[in-house]
Structure 1
Amino acid sequence: MTTDSRSSAAFLVDESLGYLFPAALRAAAAVGVADHLTDGPRSPAELAEVTATDARNLSRVLRLLATRGIVAEDAEGRFRLTATGDALRTDAPHSARSAILMNTDRSLWLPAAEMDRCLTEGTSVFEGIFGMPFFAHFAQDEATAAVFHTGMAAMSDPENEPIAAAYDFPATGTVVDVGGGHGGLLLEVLRHNPGLRGVLYDQPHVLAGHRLDVEETEGRWSVAEGDFFSAAPPGDIHLLKRILHDWEDDRCVTILERCREAMAPGGRILVVDAVVPRDNAPHQAKTLDLLLMSALVGRERTEADFAELLAAAGLRITRIVPTPTVLSVVEAVAASA
């Protein structure tokens, strides 16, 4: 075996163990260990007592997290939370704890473990594991649905303000957030644009957790219940944030057609999604794409993919606006406009 071959083998073996880091991150998030590190370093024994865990095993988990800078171990064997790991706290301004628990939930973890079946069968393996499609499973399992919706809000919250600030919304009109969840993005859009009104459109059980009822948006919002495959509320701008990547092309075309039908004259559709770059550099969309492949039926898309998808729905791209996040705003109008 050549030196290059040995190096390759060592690298690949090390990479194959990489799944144990998110497993450790999930374990730490699940027991809430970061919440007990806000006042400074603590020993594994002290942490084990307040988290009702085994001190030795907790120490082993924290030791691995320390290799990625989530925590740091001092000479006395105590652990402290670092600036990098701060968002692991439940009460952090942009806590990632719920997002971590969602991304490592068994509903996503188990399909990823059987990703080879996606290659041989050409489809998601979720239904084969859980006995029903992804969203049907969430609809009948309240506990898992709560993990998903809370996790999505936690994943989205840090993105919403930069996205709202990056796009030049009109001074007046109605913005419809289609499948907008708890309304985090719509809330930031209304905050940045006091002349706009907003409609949060989603299913009843999702809307129950909305966060639009704050003083600065008083009188400028409403909620609407429905199914975005069937209809969309009328408006000047229709937002679709992290929606289309969940679905196959034909279903995306249906969603887009319903939005186009509901657009006011001169209206716009804003697809807020990752636009996969055509290079070899790391990008979150390239990773998330495999989650979508294994657990759902959707995919992340390139600019060419979006152009084709929108054209099939009678729309055309007018521009793509980058944001400080991993997402871009793909702006589209009616093809005849």
Structure 2
Amino acid sequence: MEPVLQNNTLLSLAEEVQQAAAIECSADRSASSHFRLLGLLDRLRLAVESPTETVRRLIYQPPQNAALRTVIDLEVFPLLTQHPKKGMSATQLAEDTGAERALVVRLMRVMEGLGLCACAEPEVYLPTDKTIAFTQPIGRDGVPCLYDLAVPTLVQLPAYFREHHYLMPKEYSRSPMRWAVGQSQFEWLAQRKHQQALFNSYMSSRRHGKPSWFDVYPVERLVQDAEDHDGAAFLVDVGGNQGHDLIRFREKYPDVKGRFILQDLPQVVESASVGEDIDAMAYSFLDPQPVKGARAYYFRAIFHDWPDYICHRILQNTVSALRPGYSRIIIVDCVLPDTNTPLAQSSLDIQMMSIGSGVERSECQWRELLGAAGLEIQGIWSASPEMDCVIEAVPKSV
């Protein structure tokens, strides 16, 4: 057996896990304490694993993902949830899905290993508390959406870097995805209506049950001293898709005066049902911002899709519309810590780089990007280390 970390390190980690687990089971549990416990468990596993065991765990993740993608296609998880007590046999699953029984057995071994089902007796499968997530949009739509969208490019990513001398992709038009499959992310989705629907469903599901940006950000910073007549632009949601954020904001703050404006491409805003108190406006953030002097210009999950030069163009188009001393930019996006970056966030960064030369930025990178556009950060707010942050930026003081 290969050597592992020293016993005192392992025991110390186990003690930290025990203490964090006690908090998880107490009234003091919070998003931050939960996130810390997960991080400690990852560290504990690494401490227990031998180096070879770590290698094996990592190199067999691709077949696990492929098996999961296949099981989603077979719609196995909804079938399991219909039989919560007795479960379903491999024979029953084969009959209901049309798959060969032997294939079902082999796929379900992987699902059991991933904790997505239980196997109380040979070739009989029961749902677990994780199974239900794969019958809902987060798993049912998220798995095929991201697998089909990203994997063909990720498979070619090492070859892309070899051919491009290991230089980071910096142009959207020359992203690894365009090099590998001949299309950008948005072009690929636009030509595949089913995949676009999966993508929209998954993106919506990621926000389900999580606080909105205005639950994290102190909204009084916007409301205080804002112009209170109906003609003044209060909040402009740039690239806001169907306007869900504006609708929720209006529901929570119905007394806030001013105009609320949803901006997106013409084909997007044409289908948006936002109500009479929200103005839908066709607009591309690659063009100068037509709404001048609004209290706030809001961007949610926009900048991580794009390389720096396009982000700079978007910011410059917005800065030109700001009223000094009054307007500000609100950005809701990932802010990576400069050290000990969570694996999920660093993995997402690689994915964004591959499909569109996008970037998940650290706080230092955000300050650099915004500073180059003449902006300075006034504050960063977050409800949890794993959630997107809210960044407020204003023009630099002269």
Rate the CA distance shift 1:195–1:9 in 2: closer, same or farther, 3 A.
Answer: same
SS in 2 for 1:74: strand
> In structure 2, do the counterparts of structure 1 residues 71 and 309 end up closer, same or farther at CA, with 3 Å as the change threshold?
same
For each residue in 1:177-215, what CA deviation from the matched residue of structure 2 results, as whole angstroms up to 9, or x when unmatched? 2222333433333333223453332223334554x54xx
Contact 1:117/1:125 (8 A) holds in 2: no
Structure 1: which 5+ runs fail to align? none
Q: What does residue 19 of structure 1 align with?
A: 62
Equivalent position to 1:146, from 174, 181, 197 = 197
1:12-91 mapped onto 2 (5 Å cutoff) = 12-39=55-82, 40=84, 41-75=87-121, 77-90=123-136
**Structure 1, residues 106-138: CA drift from partner, whole Å, max 9, x if none?**
x31111112213433123321222223333333
- The answer to whether the 8 Å contact 2:237/2:299 transfers is yes
Residue identity opposite 2:161 in structure 1: L
Q: For 2:98 and 2:245, how far apart are their aligned partners in 1?
A: 37
Separation in 1, partners of 2:108, 2:250: 41
Provide the aligned C-alpha RMSD in A.
2.8
For 1:10 and 1:328, the matched residues in 2 are separated by 35
Deviations 1:76-132 (A, max 9, x none): 633233222322114xxx643222222111x31111112213433123321222223
TM-score by length of 1: 0.85
Q: Counterparts of 2:370 and 2:147 in 1: how far apart (Å)? A: 32
Change beyond 3 A, Cα 1:229–1:62: same
Give the letter aligned to residue 263 of structure 2.
Answer: Y
Task: Determine whether 1:228 maps to 2:285.
Answer: yes
Q: d(CA) in 2 for partners of 1:54 and 1:70?
A: 20
Q: Distance in 2 between matches of 1:223 and 1:46?
A: 51
The residue that corresponds to 2:27 in the other structure is: none
- Residue 116 (str. 1) matches residue 181 (str. 2): no
Structure 2 residue 260 is the aligned partner of structure 1 residue 201: no
Identical aligned residues as a percent: 26
Closer, same or farther: CA 26–177 of 1 in aligned 2, 3 Å: farther
**Which residue is equivalent to 1:258?**
317
1:334 matched to 2:371? The reply is no
Relative to structure 1, the CA distance from residue 77 to residue 137 in structure 2 (aligned partners, 3 Å threshold; closer, same or farther) is closer
Residue correspondence of structure 1 range 283-302 to structure 2 within 5 A: 283-302=343-362
- What runs of 5+ residues in structure 2 fail to find an aligned partner? 5-48, 170-174
SS in 1 for 2:234: strand
Paired letter, 1:242: A
User: Which shifted more, 239-248 or 186-195?
Assistant: 186-195
**Residue type of the partner of 1:167?**
Y
- TM normalised by structure 2 equals 0.73
Larger Rg over CA atoms = 2
- Contact between 1:177 and 1:199, CA under 8 Å: does it hold in 2? yes
Work out the CA distance in 2 between the residues paired with 1:43 and 1:233. 61
TM-superposed deviation, 1:258: 2.0
Instruction: Determine if contact 1:28/1:61 at 8 Å carries over to the other structure.
Output: yes
